């Protein structure tokens, strides 16, 4: 179980790091070299600032939820190693999908953005 615990801790740290990075270290609006790049976030300066901060907060929350709470509970229940490996893969994919989808939906609702 050691490698699974190490993987879980690394994913938790990575999700928190990404969250802090999006919140604090994104580029300014006109250049937009570094940050969370969805067209909804890149739409204008207001969406750029709000979207990066929201994506950062969401990354931290999802990381703590998936890799700080759900996975350790499953480790405590002593499920089989093969199930735990599959679970960490599913949680990682779910983390990425939810991060993109929730930010996309939130940006569209808050700033009334629509596809043309």
- Write out pLDDT tens, residues 71-102: 999 888 988 999 999 999 999 999 999 999 99
Cα distance between residue 4 and residue 81, in whole Å: 8
Average pLDDT over residues 28-39: 91
pLDDT at res. 11: 96
The answer to whether the CB of 36 falls within 8 A of the CB of 103 is yes
pLDDT at res. 48: 95
**How many CB atoms lie under 10 A from the CB of residue 59?**
26
- Write out pLDDT tens, residues 43-56: 999 999 999 999 99
pLDDT at res. 79: 86
As a whole number of Å, the end-to-end CA separation of the chain is 50
The mean pLDDT of the chain is: 94
Name the CA radius of gyration of the chain, rounded: 16
């Amino acid at each position: 179980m050691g490698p699974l615990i190490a993987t879980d801790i690394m994913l938790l740290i990575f999700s928190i790091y990404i969250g802090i990075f999006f919140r604090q270290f994104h580029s300014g609006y006109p250049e937009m070299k570094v940050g969370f790049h969805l067209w909804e976030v890149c739409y204008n300066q207001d969406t750029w600032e709000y979207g990066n901060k929201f994506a950062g907060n969401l990354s931290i929350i999802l990381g703590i939820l998936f890799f700080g709470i759900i996975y350790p509970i499953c480790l405590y229940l002593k499920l089989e190693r093969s199930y735990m490996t599959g679970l960490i893969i599913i949680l990682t994919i779910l983390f990425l999908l939810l991060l993109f989808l929730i930010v996309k939906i939130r940006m569209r609702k808050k700033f009334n953005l629509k596809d043309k």
